[in-house]
Amino acid sequence: MSTKRSSSYTNAEDTHLCHIYLDVSQNPIIGIYQSKDMFWSRVENDYNNSKPSFITEVRNKRSLQCRMQTILTSMGKIRGCIRQIERLKPNGDSEADIVSIC
């Protein structure tokens, strides 16, 4: 049995996924009272049902989990870079200046 590989995620898809991930995880009513499987089922459902018309790819739960893990890993690396720069105590540097150094 062969399966077709999905196309790569676009920046718009990444942005949409991050919005959905935050919405589902920060839901004050059921955000913390759900299993991992239910959480990702809700992400999958919300992602595919609310995507803008220019996003045509339908993504499954496993694909969304893997992509979000990649995004979270990258965010962790960026946070680490920013922390290192902040420890150097750059005087007068704004947050935008620090991010531009990374």
pLDDT tens digit sequence for 3-22: 666 679 999 999 999 999 99
Residue 102 and residue 82 in contact, taking contact as beta carbons nearer than 8 Å: yes
Residue type, 57: E
Residue type, 54: F
Structure confidence by residue, pLDDT tens digits, 43-79 = 999 999 999 999 999 999 999 999 999 999 999 998 9
Nearest to 46 by CA among 19, 9, 15, 14: 19
CA-angle at 40, arms to 49 and 1, nearest 5°: 85
Q: What is the pTM of this model?
A: 0.77
